[in-house]
Amino acid sequence: QAADYKREQFRRYLEKSGVLDTLTKVLVALYEEPEKPNSALDFLKHHLGASAPENPEIEALRLEVAEMKEKYEAVLEENKKLKTKV
């Protein structure tokens, strides 16, 4: 009975946190796919947000952020040098 109680508590936890609902929606989406994907696991990962984004726009934004960080560091360094001069 202890195992049944633990299992029921865990099921309630999953239901309360929305995990069961989310998994059900993703599995229904997979079921309703007219052409089943080669990898069901990749489909699940993609729909749950666990896969790397394939959008080239996102990659461009990442590069822009990296460039801005470099510029920011350079400006900080320049600011430090100018403060020592004053």
Q: In whole angstroms, give the CA distance from residue 27 to residue 33.
A: 10
**For the chain, how many helices (H) and strands (E)?**
4, 0
CA-atom Rg of the chain in angstroms: 24
Looking at residue 50, its pLDDT comes to 65
Domain range list for the chain: 1-52, 54-85
Looking at residue 54, its pLDDT comes to 60
pTM summary value: 0.52
Distance of CA 37 to the CA centre of its chain: 21
Looking at residue 47, its pLDDT comes to 86
One digit per residue, pLDDT tens: the chain, 86 residues? 888 999 999 999 999 999 999 999 999 999 999 999 999 998 988 888 765 556 777 778 888 999 999 999 999 999 999 999 88
Looking at residue 51, its pLDDT comes to 52
